Structure 1
Amino acid sequence: MSGPVALSVAADGIARIAVDNPPVNALSHPVRRALWDAVEAAEADRAVRLILLAAEGRTFPAGADINEFHAKPQDLWLPDLCDRIEACAKPVVAVLHGTALGGGFELALAAHYRLAAEDAQVGLPEVTLGLLPGAGGTQRLPRLAGGAAALEIMLGGRPVDAAQAQRLGLLDRVVRGDLSEAARAYARELLAADAGPRRTRDSRAGLRDTRAYMAAIRHHRAWLSDAPVPAPEKIVDCVEAALLLPFETGLAFERAAFEDCVTSDASHALRHAFLAERRAAKIPGRGSAAPRPVQRLGLAGGDPGLAAAALEAGLAVTLIAPDPEAATAEVAGHCAGVSAQGIPGDEAQVARLARLSATSDPAALAGADLVIAGRAQAGEALAHLSPEAVLAVAGAAAARGGGRVAGLYLPPAAEGGRLAEVLVAPETSPETAATLFAALRRLGRVALRCAGGPVGPAMSAAMLRAAGDMLLRGADPYRIDDALRGFGFALGPYERLDRDGQAAQAGALGVALARRGWTGRGAGRGVYRYDREAEPRVEDPEVLALLRALQAEGGRPQRSLSGDEIVQRMMAAAANAGAKLVDAGVVLRPSDVDVAMMLGQGFPRWRGGPMMLADQTGLLAVKRTLDILSEENPAFWAPAPLFAELIKNGRRFADLNGG
């Protein structure tokens, strides 16, 4: 056979069915059909005694094709293929390498035996997409590993290394060295022992301790009682069904639960978030520009957490700091924090810190391939930069320095620390942008290309201005913060003002509101903590404008706005601001705005970002809200022209995202 799956039969009767669908061997419909045909052919071939199910390239199938979730399902679903493999009359051995995740691991669970390379990882991360394993994973996994382990794997969504998977009973053998030869040797052992098919559906190993099994069910069900996404609770229900129902009935229960999840708004949003992050890396027009190699990172005025991440990624780091000893200790503290979370041990930490060089002399930056410098340190860093090196100016757009300089915005670590906005100028070279993108990905960041200023702060300012507009009309700032937290943000806009070190601005707003007759309910919460007699210095133009407007309004009575009205206004403001950024070419596509908001500004991921939310609400409905609000304040609320253009042509923001 040729195509995405190849079948070969050796003289000893060992057949090898190999998936070859780069880059990750996703189980798309053509792959599933070819696998089915290969299993049928191998089973019908009298010369075949045992089947090895493997994959070419860098990994065993790493999951299903996520794009199929948005289309009408095609016949021969993955559950059917898994059932066919499990029902095979000849023993099937799954040979795992790379990351066998999602549907790929469900395929392996349906095989009769499982062998893996020692550096392989397995897992069922569907919950991160608002889904549950829908090809028998919720029924087969607990039969092998028990309820507690199955729930930890599926609800956590994180991969499990091969050694741990073997301890849990999910793998029969873990090998090092030549995987293909080890698989054939294992196959010969099974044949010599006359081992036949061993179907996972018949296993009772994980179901024996019913008391512990049900205790795990009760624990997780109580913990998930208020979950905003339905998938986690349904995973618990399915794992309970694995214990209480016959296997075929459990599969039907799982399928119904999967269908409920896949059609939910939360899953649509989480799948959008997943694809939006990957889409952000696609930069049209970048052509064949190759990133320059980065082995040493220079940091001048940078975050010690960034230095720790670079060391963790295997880079050498030159850190410029006024007190090198204190800076080294701070970086070591971050590294210790990483180590305490699980993976590297003490030896690895010593090796990481050996690659750190801290000094107060900026001339040491001459050996760096990439330098990230604060605004104050950028000029000095540029003076010492080698001709081939790249400079990223943190917190600012690209300044002088020509093609090898770009700006960089790193959101506060409190929002998750996964985003990096690369601020390119017209003179920024494609090689510089490619180098920065590649280095940031190595540091575990999602890199987002922006032209000009950063997206996150612009969006945050628009939402703060919308909140200020409500204050002007007498809204209670407590209610505004509470409504945004109820929507899914960790903090409301005024709580964030204080947390982000803008206490002076928050205090000034508190003073203005107090003089207007509003009384807070206690101290210590953003705008609510203030000194009535103080006159805090405020420099932010948006806050200054709001203060002047509040003072001009005087002691106007408060107007009560419901939580839904507050959220409606805030989301309309965010979508409008995002549309203006798209129109201006600051971002390449609407989904980039969603990425900036979810990864950098605390927007709840299960809501999908303001642009997707506007699509879900309906662009006409959002525009009507903006039209009504613009009667109160046309300078701020007037809809961006992009709304009318899309509505006229029957299109949505999603239609501008590309592939």
Structure 2
Amino acid sequence: MAAINPVTDLVIEDGIAVVTLNSPPVNALSVAVRDGIYQGIGEALDNDAVQAVVLICAGKTFIAGADIAEFDKPRSGLTLPQVQQRIEDAGKPVIAAIHGTALGGGLEVALVCHYRVAVPSAKCGLPEVNIGLLPGAGGTQRLPRIVGAEKALEMVTSGMHVRAKDALAMGLVDELTPEDGLRAGAIAFARKVVAEGRPLRKVRDMNEKVEAARGRPELFAEFRRGNARKFRGFQAPEANIRCIEAAVNMPFDEGLAFEHKLFEELMAGTQSAAQRYYFFASRKAWNVPDVPADTPTIPVNTVGIIGAGTMGGGIAMNFLNAGIPVTIVETKQEALDRGLATIRRNYENTASKGRISMDDVEKRMAQLKGSLALDDLAQCDLVIEAIFENMDVKKEMFGKLDRIVRQGAILASNTSALDLNEIASATSRPQDVIGLHFFSPANVMKLLEVVRGEKTSKPVIATCMQLARRIGKVAALVGVCPGFVGNRILAQRQREAGKLVLEGAMPWDVDRVLVDFGLPMGPFAMSDLAGLDLGWRRENSTGSTLREILCEMDRRGQKTGAGFYDYDDKRQARPSPVVENIIRDFAASKGITPRVVSEQEILERCIYPMINEGARILEEGIAIRASDIDVVWVNGYGWPVYRGGPMRYGDSVGLDKVLAKMQDFEARFGDDFKPAKLLVDMVAQRKSFKDL
């Protein structure tokens, strides 16, 4: 075996050259890897004893994509197209041997090989759209020539990973090898190619499938129309679609040039920069500086949940999905039966869509036990309280759990705003108490705020962060304060939205501006969806707020067909003249004269206080990093990832501009807009949140 460069080895076995890449952890296409491929392939081709070449990777995966860390650095070394041309123009067969994942640039390398073999567990995909880009090394031109335009459209705009079995069926892979025999299988396949005199197939020359789509513009029009809602606001999906159109309608080299042009435009744009920022932010969030990676963790093999309502049931599904048995406790049989039935119905709905099988449904339900006795939680490794958001009620419950649940178990609260330290004070073991704030619906939303109390132990923190990953969540560790990170920042937006409608904007004006900004819905539509009567009781209502007035009129949101909006029988919203009159009358009763409120003011009044509150959260040490705040908002509240998150958005606007506008608003509207000291200091020091 000969080392070609630090990441590449070459060995020749009876005329078959095996070029092995070894660049942990994922063989990303760094300068060294690109150079290594080029040199390894070149040396194999120059050897007269070599009849065919196998390109394979050491470690857990084939080339898993580009080295994204290099994107914002000056380019050096060989380009990926230069490496690809060396392979594609080889005078001997080159076979890619795929295990793990062949993603992005990794699949683009495999696509210039003449043949591809894979183990059954392998996956292939072009996920560049997830960082605001398109495949920039011929992926959009070669893929449709193998799988057809329809499948290529689906793959490049979703970033989906295709299983090896499906890749074989669509021609993306030529043969599957045994799971533990990739190297031997690839060598055997190479020998077969040589023995049979198979041609040096170039994907670029396969035109049959793209020609079949030529002259069918409706194919692309229907795809755009069917995905309009999903793609709203994003630039990369449309650029990917245009490249597949180019593959269908242009000669290969022209399509390649078109792909390169659009790739460079996206790379230079703000959306991809924000999405690349988020890519790294979501990975940093797992790193807790004072909780080292080798911190001992607590085995969690059984989970108890208190409360079988919407939150408790949704939380239970996360653990059942991961194969962790759950005992769920309620106070009344009727509530327990209803909760268990809802979980089953949710699973059956998922099965009806083909996402899981009915066997999966039964396996998961078999892991779920319902009970009316807290004592049944005594031996659980983790108990999560998901009951009414009331401090006295929660403290009483944790006092009971302290007496019932075995020592060493983790006691968690799903509280969304209450003081975790006070909750923990009801126990004799505050070091074992932590907040696990799931977002509703808990079985769907990706975010988990892991709330660290002042006495929460490091092993408990480490365990819960690892457990979050195990159940498929994106976790961010936060400290204790009212509302933690997400809801504390949300309160700023909700307050200003409420003030704006009294000053002259209508709910639909505010909602439209924020939806146009990229959020999935505005504050008033969100309130209608959640129900205006959350926490409201008629007997205590004083008619002192718009929400109370609407609830007293039985306008409680979508469920009653009316809230801030009027709804038809399909729950389609339309502006309500009734609400407009109520708002104007209410404002008049407060002595407020309505004025015209611009869209720019709506946006700045709602968004800039969020950025300012994020600065306060950082000042207080509630969040570890500004990027963690962005992770919370992208995953928990639908902040558009192509804007990076509120803190990244503040950087992109310019913190000096945010501060100036906050000072202007403070002078006009009062202390609600008082700038955070950190924001003032950062502007004075010409720093950005990314510098923290």
**Match of residue 380, structure 2, among 347, 362, 368:** 368
Matched, 1:310 2:319: yes
SS in 2 for 1:413: coil
Question: For the structure 1 residues 553 and 262, does the alpha-carbon distance in structure 2 shift closer, same or farther, using more than 3 Å as the test?
Answer: farther
**In 2, distance between residues paired with 1:18 and 1:213?**
43
RMSD: 2.7
Q: Contact 2:211–2:248 (CA<8 Å) still a contact in 1?
A: no
Q: Contact 1:147–1:213 (CA<8 Å) still a contact in 2?
A: no
Aligned amino acid, residue 373 of structure 2? D
**In 2, distance between residues paired with 1:275 and 1:24?**
16
SS in 1 for 2:623: coil
**Match of residue 300, structure 2, among 294, 297, 300:** 294
Q: Contact 1:290–1:431 (CA<8 Å) still a contact in 2?
A: yes
Q: Give the drift of 1:283.
A: 0.7
TM-score normalised over the length of structure 1 = 0.90
**Match of residue 158, structure 1, among 160, 175, 178:** 160
Q: Give the drift of 1:293.
A: 2.2
Deviations 1:146-165 (A, max 9, x none): 11111011112111111111
Q: Contact 2:485–2:632 (CA<8 Å) still a contact in 1?
A: yes
**Equivalence for 1:274:** 279
TM-score normalised over the length of structure 2 = 0.86
**In 2, distance between residues paired with 1:179 and 1:358?**
46
Q: Give the drift of 1:527.
A: 4.0
Q: Contact 1:304–1:334 (CA<8 Å) still a contact in 2?
A: no
Matched, 1:197 2:197: no
Count the aligned residue pairs. 634
Larger deviation, residues 505-514 vs 219-228: 505-514
Question: For the structure 1 residues 143 and 357, does the alpha-carbon distance in structure 2 shift closer, same or farther, using more than 3 Å as the test?
Answer: same
Q: Give the drift of 1:415.
A: 11
**Equivalence for 1:334:** 346
**Equivalence for 2:391:** none
Question: For the structure 1 residues 367 and 181, does the alpha-carbon distance in structure 2 shift closer, same or farther, using more than 3 Å as the test?
Answer: farther
**In 2, distance between residues paired with 1:617 and 1:433?**
35
SS in 1 for 2:668: coil
**Equivalence for 1:418:** 446
Larger deviation, residues 585-594 vs 170-179: 170-179
**In 2, distance between residues paired with 1:463 and 1:232?**
30
**Equivalence for 1:130:** 132
Q: Contact 2:52–2:94 (CA<8 Å) still a contact in 1?
A: yes
Aligned amino acid, residue 433 of structure 1? I
Q: Give the drift of 1:508.
A: 5.3
Q: Contact 1:495–1:525 (CA<8 Å) still a contact in 2?
A: no
**In 2, distance between residues paired with 1:219 and 1:357?**
46
Q: Contact 1:416–1:600 (CA<8 Å) still a contact in 2?
A: no
**Equivalence for 1:649:** 685
Larger deviation, residues 454-463 vs 627-636: 627-636
Q: Contact 1:365–1:384 (CA<8 Å) still a contact in 2?
A: yes
Aligned amino acid, residue 187 of structure 1? A
Unmatched tracts of structure 2, length 5 or more = 388-393, 537-542, 551-557, 568-582
Larger deviation, residues 359-368 vs 281-290: 359-368
**In 2, distance between residues paired with 1:414 and 1:343?**
18
Aligned amino acid, residue 379 of structure 1? G
Q: Contact 1:415–1:602 (CA<8 Å) still a contact in 2?
A: no
Question: For the structure 1 residues 567 and 525, does the alpha-carbon distance in structure 2 shift closer, same or farther, using more than 3 Å as the test?
Answer: farther
**Match of residue 358, structure 1, among 370, 375, 381:** 370
**Equivalence for 2:432:** 404
Larger deviation, residues 140-149 vs 60-69: 60-69
Q: Give the drift of 1:482.
A: 2.1
Q: Contact 1:415–1:600 (CA<8 Å) still a contact in 2?
A: no
Q: Give the drift of 1:631.
A: 0.3
**In 2, distance between residues paired with 1:183 and 1:402?**
56
Question: For the structure 1 residues 275 and 282, does the alpha-carbon distance in structure 2 shift closer, same or farther, using more than 3 Å as the test?
Answer: same
SS in 1 for 2:223: helix
Question: How do residues 129-528 of structure 1 correspond to structure 2 at under 5 angstroms?
Answer: 129-177=131-179, 178-210=181-213, 214-223=217-226, 227-287=232-292, 288-301=294-307, 302-321=311-330, 322-323=332-333, 324-374=336-386, 376=394, 377-395=397-415, 396=418, 397-398=420-421, 399-400=424-425, 401-413=429-441, 417-453=445-481, 454-503=484-533, 509-510=545-546, 524=561, 526-527=563-564
Larger deviation, residues 475-484 vs 44-53: 475-484
**In 1, distance between residues paired with 2:639 and 2:508?**
19
Aligned amino acid, residue 203 of structure 2? T
Q: Give the drift of 1:512.
A: 8.3
SS in 1 for 2:71: helix
Question: For the structure 1 residues 383 and 526, does the alpha-carbon distance in structure 2 shift closer, same or farther, using more than 3 Å as the test?
Answer: farther
**Equivalence for 2:73:** 71
SS in 1 for 2:597: coil
Q: Contact 1:147–1:217 (CA<8 Å) still a contact in 2?
A: no
Q: Give the drift of 1:213.
A: 5.8
Question: For the structure 1 residues 213 and 403, does the alpha-carbon distance in structure 2 shift closer, same or farther, using more than 3 Å as the test?
Answer: farther
SS in 2 for 1:132: coil
Q: Contact 1:55–1:61 (CA<8 Å) still a contact in 2?
A: yes
Deviations 1:588-637 (A, max 9, x none): 11111111111112222222211111111111111110010010234211
**Equivalence for 2:639:** 603
Q: Contact 2:312–2:386 (CA<8 Å) still a contact in 1?
A: no
Q: Contact 2:4–2:40 (CA<8 Å) still a contact in 1?
A: no
**In 2, distance between residues paired with 1:135 and 1:166?**
22
Deviations 1:338-357 (A, max 9, x none): 33443432223222222222
Aligned amino acid, residue 460 of structure 2? T
Unmatched tracts of structure 1, length 5 or more = 515-521, 531-546
Q: Contact 1:477–1:494 (CA<8 Å) still a contact in 2?
A: yes
**Equivalence for 2:101:** 99
Q: Give the drift of 1:525.
A: 5.5
**In 2, distance between residues paired with 1:307 and 1:99?**
31
Larger deviation, residues 233-242 vs 289-298: 289-298
**Equivalence for 2:92:** 90
**Equivalence for 1:14:** 16
